[in-house]
Every structure is written in C-alpha cells, then in structure tokens.
Amino acid sequence: MTTTVKLEQQAAEGAVFYLFGATGDLAKRKLFPALFSLYKEGKLAENFAVVGLARRPRTDDQFRTDVYESIVEFCRYKADDAALWNKFAEHFTYMSLDINNVDGFRELNKRSLELDQKFNIPGNRLFYLALAPELFGPVSFNLRDGGLLESGGWKRLVIEKPFGYDLETARKLNGQLSQVFKEEEIYRIDHYLGKEMVQNIEAIRFANAFFEPLWNNKHIANVQISLAETVGVEDRGGYYDKSGALRDMMQNHMLQMLTIIAMEPPSRLQPEDIRDEKVKVLRSLRPFKNGEEVRANVVRGQYSEGSLGTKSLTGYRQEDSVNPESVTETYFGARVHVDNFRWAGVPFYIRTGKRLPVKTTEIVIEFKNVPENVLFRAGEEVNPNLLVIRVNPMEGIYIKFNAKRPGTDNDLQPVAMEFCQSCQIGINTPEAYERLIFDAARGESTRFTRWDEVSQAWAFVDEIAKAWKETDSDLAFYPAGSWGPEVMDQILAQDGFNWWPVNGQDEDNVIWISGSRK
C-alpha cells in the first residue's frame, strides 16, 4: 500500500497586501510574478487588494502596466491568461509615499479602509518591505503612528534580507521592529527556505528508512554544501562591496541549509518545533576562538580577471560601484563542526562564490565506507556512497553506490540513480517567493527565520568578520570562471577528502540511471 501525505493547501485569507518598494527590482522580478501565480492557482482569496508603494509617481494604470510587463517577462504567462489578468489587475492600486512622512501613512490608512469595503476584507494587513534595511524601522513606526495597525484583523510584517550587518545592528533593528510587532507577526525572508529541494530535505531525512538510521557520525563521513554562481555582482556592487559573501550568503542561506541537514527530528511538524531544532544546531556550531582558527578553517577569495567559455570577465575590483582596492570577499569557504552527539567529528564543508564555473546549489552527503574492502578489488579503495541533493537550478536527488560489473571478475561499477525532479515536473515547480508569500498570507511561519536563529547566525559569523579585520593577508584571488582559491581544496585534503563534482558532472565510468517514467 502506498501513502500520500497531502499538505493543507487552503487559499490564503483575504487581506490587503502593501508592497513597499513596488517600483524596485525585487518587486518586478519576483513579487508580482509570485502573486500572479498564486492567483492563477486559486491560492489567493478573491477578497484581496495590493497597494504598490514607493516615492515615484504612478497612476493606477501605469502601475498595472508595470505589473503586467513583469508578469509577461518573469512568469508563466500565456495568451489565454488575458481574462485572468484583467480580473487580477482590478485588485491593484498604487500610492506615492515617502517612508519618512507619517502623513502619507495616514492617507494610506484611509485608502485601506476603502479597500476593505470594496473587496470585503476583514482588516487583515500584510506589509511586505522590499526596501533597503535602514527603512525597516521607520516604516514600522509610521505604520503604527499612521493608524494602520488598528484595523481589527491580523497584521504581518514580511522583511527582506539583509537583517542587519552584524549582531549589534541586527539587535538594534530587531529592537525597533519589536516595539511595533510581536515576534510571531514578523516574517523574515530567507528565500532558500522557499526552495522546493530545501523543503524536501526533511522528507528525504525523515520519511526514508534508507537514510534516517544512517544520519549521524557513525555513518556519515562529511557533508559538502556548495552554492556556486556564475554571475558577478552585476549592478549591486554598492551593496555587495559592504556585504561580501560572508554576510550575503553564509549568514543566511548557507547556515539555513546546514541547520536543516543537521537538526534533530522535530517532535511535530509545527513552526516552533522545527525552528527550535534549527536553532539548537546553530548553538552547537563550534565557534572559532581566534584569528588563527579562522585562518586554518575559513577561506576568503576575490575574483580577478578571467573567462567563462569564450567570454572574458573583468575582475571584481573593476566592477561598477566597487572600491578599486576592495578586500571584500566574493568567495567564502569553510570547514565547520556541529558539536553535538549526532555530528561530533563530521566536518561540514561549505563554499559559495560569484564568478564560479557553474550556477548550482548542491548538498552532498558522503557516507563512510564499509569497514574492510575484503571482497571487491581487495586492498583498493572503493568509492563511498553519496546522497546528492540538487537544490538549484536543477532540482532532484541522486544516490551513488557500487554494483558488480557484469562479467567473471569481481569488479565494481559505480552507479548513480537519480530522481530528476526538474526533468519530470520542471517548470511547474513553484518559485520560492510564491511559496513564501503564500505561507505569510496564511500565517505559516516555518519557512521564515526566527530572531534567535538570526542572532545566533550573526554571532557565529561575527567571529569570522572580526578575525578578517585583523589582517587581510589571507584574501586569495581566483580567476573569474574558476572554482575559487585552491587552499579550500587543501582543507578537505587535510582530512582525506575532496569536493565531489557538482552539477551532474562526474567521472566517466559512472552509469547513470535517471527516473523518467511519468
């Protein structure tokens, strides 16, 4: 008998969605398309309204045109969606507002009451801040002072990263937000938590007798998490040069993936139970005690001129809005340990970088080998078993194991057995932002980061940043289009390991079995 567990997928309750930063890049590329997809799938109740907010003037019609263009460019829009689009567009309105002017918020409150009437909305408010973080505090205060929190329904604040620059600034920001919103009303986005395969990690771990009993230091040799990007800093040089890979990727996406891999099974699949387990992992991370420990375990790199295929690529210091003498890292690699009973002695190798050869996010679990290879190729090493979770952009899972090569010799053949989700379900997989907006609108907070997770992650990362301030002699340059500083490979080699190939590249002799039955 097979069992399918169906997760609750009810439509979100009616609400006014306030999109602060409605003329910005994130709204255009991610938020409008996500809202349209949700509408198309019937996940938005009919009684909703979206108010676009930013300083520049726009009429409602101009705003709807912006939304339409974004959906056509970034969404699965088809010609026969036209009727749906017309209905959807009726819910959109725009108001020019400066965050620093409370009168604008009073006017917004008046309009909101009209929208409640028009769309029969029970006073529910979802404030999405696609804004620079320094505006998060002022918006919250003006929402309160402008009367927007008095409508009687629920209130939720969705905020984008970065949540602070370090622990101190994050605390300050959190202090501001918590003067206005309760912790359970704050939804901190980490878009990696909205990715299908990151959500799948729990299913893989907790729903499979193959893996669950082996998920510990008796059977796992090491864990490798790679988040490689081919892009450089594009037009975000100003932001990135102050942030770097440590704050842009490690503090949030990388540590979040690590916690889900390493956490104990939660007692229930409830938001607080899951987040309790995740924060325990962050608390168990072995802190780097001093600069020497950081330099022995952490690698920072910056891309210099290079090439990818036939394309020549400029160095980071030559990018727009980047200091020509910048020491900001565009590559971060580390060996970290989770000091608890389950993971004692298992290194977690993490790497992320811009201008690497491929765009891919993958998690490799390398299992320990059988104790003695006495039967096959006696005396020789056999390939370890691997479980590979492909997060992005290809989604899927594969396991690598050894089988007997057909013939009279007792020889081994590595086999990779794959479930390629992208090949089978492909384009129908919902986008991360779609899931996260849907979750926020229905009050499901599991895939958002809680304050104790964020602060614990900052505490870990701050130690690294502090050591980096002492000296930048360890900054290694790598040619754009390469795999980053070689010194990271040496860290794995010290432990007798190597990075496993990512992005489906593998040794020639592996037999691939890819699930393609529909």
Ligand X SMILES: O=C1O[C@H](COP(=O)(O)O)[C@@H](O)[C@H](O)[C@H]1O
C-alpha–C-alpha distance, residues 50 and 115, integer Å: 9
Shortest distance, CB of residue 23 to ligand NDP, whole angstroms? Answer: 4
**Dihedrals phi, psi of 355, to nearest 5 degrees:** 60, 45
Residues 380-399 touching ligand X, rule: CB under 6 A, are 392
Strands (DSSP E) found in 393-443: 396-404, 412-420
Using CB under 6 A, pick the residue from 13, 160, 229, 444 that binds ligand X: 229
Number of residues that bind ligand X (CB under 6 A): 4
Q: Which does 443 bind (CB under 5 to 8 A by kind): ligand X, ligand NDP, none?
A: none
Shortest distance, CB of residue 231 to ligand X, whole angstroms? Answer: 6
- Determine if 248 is a binding residue for ligand X (CB under 6 A): yes
Shortest distance, CB of residue 57 to ligand NDP, whole angstroms? Answer: 9
Catalytic option among 91, 219, 253, 337? 253
2: amino acid identity, one letter: T
Residues 6+ apart with CB under 8 A from 209: none
On whether the CB atoms of residues 187 and 445 are closer than 8 A, the answer is yes
Nearest CB to ligand X, comparing residues 174 and 361: 361
Q: Which does 98 bind (CB under 5 to 8 A by kind): ligand X, ligand NDP, none?
A: ligand NDP
Question: 3-state DSSP call for residue 221?
Answer: strand
Nearest CB to ligand X, comparing residues 229 and 434: 229
Nearest CB to ligand NDP, comparing residues 132 and 344: 132
CA of residue 381 relative to chain centroid, distance = 36
C-alpha–C-alpha distance, residues 287 and 332, integer Å: 17
The DSSP-derived string for 162-190 is P--SSHHHHHHHHHHHHTTS-GGGEEEE-
Nearest CB to ligand X, comparing residues 30 and 335: 30
Strands 476-479 and 360-367 come out as unpaired
Is 491 part of any known ligand binding site? no
Residue span 166-195 as binding mask against ligand X, x where in contact by CB under 6 A, dash where not: ------------------------------
Q: Which does 55 bind (CB under 5 to 8 A by kind): ligand NDP, ligand X, none?
A: ligand NDP
Residue sitting closest to ligand X (CB):
248
Residues 6+ apart with CB under 8 A from 477: 301, 302, 303, 304, 485
Nearest CB to ligand NDP, comparing residues 69 and 273: 69
Shortest distance, CB of residue 142 to ligand NDP, whole angstroms? Answer: 10
Shortest distance, CB of residue 490 to ligand X, whole angstroms? Answer: 26
Token pair for residue 80? 């026969």
Strands 155-159 and 125-129 come out as parallel
- What letter would DSSP give residue 314? -
Answer yes or no: 253 catalytic.
Answer: yes
**Among all residues, which ones are annotated catalytic?**
253
Residues that bind ligand X (CB under 6 A): 229, 248, 361, 392
